[in-house]
Structure 1
Amino acid sequence: MTDNTSTDDADEGHLDSAEQRSAVRERYTRIATESSSCCGDDNSCNEASPDRSRELGYSDDDLGAVDGSANLGLGCGNPTAIASLAEGDTVLDLGSGGGFDCFLAAREVGTAGHVIGVDMTPEMVEKARENVEANDATNVEFRLGEIEHLPVADESVDVVLSNCVVNLSPDKPRVFREAYRVLRPGGRLAISDVVLTTELPTDLRADPTSVAACVGGAATISALEAMLTEAGFTDVSVEPKADSEEFIRDWDSERDLSDYIVAATIEGEKPATEPQS
């Protein structure tokens, strides 16, 4: 399918789709191979410290439950905390990174459940697969793929998670359509991400580093609500987290990014019965 957003985005001071995907892939390859981490582009964000993880919403129990290098400090929230996971659920994590949220989800769904992580970066998928062994997680697997083209069967998933990844996509409407496709009727979407509170300066919108660092590609609440609704989701909710400014301020040493973005929880449900056409 042709991406019709590329030309318009470039004309409006955004990166085109190819540039955006390249910037994101390069950043997360570097993170996977060099163990630098953290959203934002501040070079001081080079480890997933317990304090930083707690700021994102993880408990000490969460932090102690996962071994290996799964927690890269890349998120802007804790999507498993809002997902209401149940024993036996099949869970899909969009942009799964080192697998931290997948392993937390695996505890909730138990051996009767299954967790799938999808990431576009081969080096990140390799790291996550190594972490499967470190955590003896027999109900978790990782697949290479783009979140706009999920390597997942139709109506095979109960819950879709994501942690500060959808903002990286140059085609967010397609991401939500794909999430809707793979969800079973009655399934739900539970995402932590950043949203725009005001227009970004052009230098941030068009900067590959800013886009790859979870800033330049953020969308407004109203735009996200419209995308989710158009994809078919109901009970759509996009709720900003006021306290997120505390960690967003650390994402850039030269300016306060909390003037432009805020972390939010993004939720929606796939109707149990498809509407009649």
Structure 2
Amino acid sequence: MTYLETTAQLYAEAAKTPQVGLCCVNTPPLQFPGLHIPEIMQQMNYGCGSTVHPTELFGEPTVLYIGVGGGIEALQFAYFCRQPGRVIAVDPVPEMRQAAARNLQLAAQDNDWFHPDSVKILAGDAFELPVSDASVDVVAQNCLFNIFEPDDLQRALVETYRVLKPGGRLIMSDPIATRPIPAQLQQDERLRALCLSGALTYEDYIQHLVAIGFGQIEIRARRPYRLLDTQHYNLDAPLLLESLDSVSFKVPLPEDGACVFTGKTAIYAGSESFLDDHAGHLLQRGIPLAVCDKTAAKFSLQFPQDVVITDSTWHYNGGGCC
């Protein structure tokens, strides 16, 4: 049995019998006015973070959600995209598609603004998305791509890039590892299916996105997720996994590399405002300017005395140098 077959079997069982916190830390769902989430959806909240970021859902976009789960994030996306068929949910597991459809019917009873037809549930997987090229504004996935082995991850990211419109956004929430996960854990199919052994380091995760061609990446959140201890996982030292929420934009890749925003700011400490003639960055004395990591590194080298670079907050939400 391959790791993908193990994963499908695991989630087919979870669709029939909800398992709270099956693989991920079960957190209360985001609350919005007039949005009521059925209890069964909350029990089937199989994700390590959230891909529902209101700032990326303006203008009632078309959203393609990969891995419908219990339907909770499909419902939340529909809250912002209130036109029929604007939310497309794709899942390869028949039992999960059926469970999500039932849950959305329940949601319609408690939300007068929602009709189940608002969410189109399709059979399919991340490697062959059942939509045409450049047809959606947002692709989202929560705690799925970390399961994939490197070649499959590459295939999935290429597919997301294909279906996104120019300027579209890939919103992801995945576990990452604070150091490389040992090979014996990576090869454990059940641990991989449980989102515990397939995680990449932050650096490798971002590099995969840049290699596909995403020109701008923004980190929305980074927080502790799970600790793999020495007793249960045969490790020499405990290994911390973190949850990373990110938004990657299908914009041209700059010649000097992608702009990755992690919450750094640059503050000019000189006597007057400073203008970076090459890139057009205007630093006003004493006022923080959000900058990507690339610009932060450049300023640190060029102006070590005049520009203060703050640490990454890992909670960046737009409005920066690029």
Shorter-chain-normalised TM-score: which range? 0.7 to 0.9
Q: Secondary structure in 2 aligned to 1:160?
A: strand
Separation (CA, whole Å) in 1 of partners of 2:230 and 2:141: 23
Separation (CA, whole Å) in 1 of partners of 2:33 and 2:2: 36
Give the TM-score of the pair, scaled to structure 1.
0.77
Is residue 52–residue 76 contact of structure 2 (8 Å, CA) maintained in 1?
yes
Separation (CA, whole Å) in 1 of partners of 2:84 and 2:238: 41
Aligned partner letter, 2:71: G
More strand by share: 2
Q: In terms of Rg, which structure is larger? A: 2
Q: Which residue of 1 aligns with 2:154?
A: 173
Aligned partner letter, 1:230: A
Q: Which residue of 2 aligns with 1:102?
A: 74
Alignment of 1:48-197 (within 5 A): 52-54=26-28, 58-61=29-32, 65-67=36-38, 69-71=40-42, 72-81=44-53, 84-111=56-83, 114-136=86-108, 137-170=116-149, 171-197=152-178
Structure 1 unmatched ranges of 5 or more: 1-17, 46-51
Q: Which residue of 2 aligns with 1:7?
A: none
Q: Which residue of 1 aligns with 2:260?
A: none
Q: Secondary structure in 2 aligned to 1:219?
A: coil
Aligned partner letter, 1:169: F
Q: Secondary structure in 2 aligned to 1:53?
A: coil
Q: Which residue of 2 aligns with 1:266?
A: 246
Q: Which residue of 1 aligns with 2:14?
A: 31
Identity %: 27
Q: How much has 1:181 moved relative to structure 2?
A: 0.6
Change (3 A) 1:200 1:65: same
Is residue 173–residue 244 contact of structure 2 (8 Å, CA) maintained in 1?
yes
Q: How much has 1:251 moved relative to structure 2?
A: 11
Structure 2 unmatched ranges of 5 or more: 109-115, 256-322
More helix by share: 1
Q: Which residue of 2 aligns with 1:9?
A: none
Separation (CA, whole Å) in 1 of partners of 2:158 and 2:188: 27
Is residue 192–residue 198 contact of structure 2 (8 Å, CA) maintained in 1?
yes
The CA RMSD measured in Å over matched residues stands at: 3.1
Is residue 40–residue 251 contact of structure 1 (8 Å, CA) maintained in 2?
no
Change (3 A) 1:68 1:272: farther
1:162-208: CA deviation from partner (whole Å, max 9, x where unpaired): 11111122311111111111111111111111112112234321212
Give the TM-score of the pair, scaled to structure 2.
0.67
Q: Secondary structure in 2 aligned to 1:110?
A: coil
Q: Which residue of 2 aligns with 1:48?
A: none
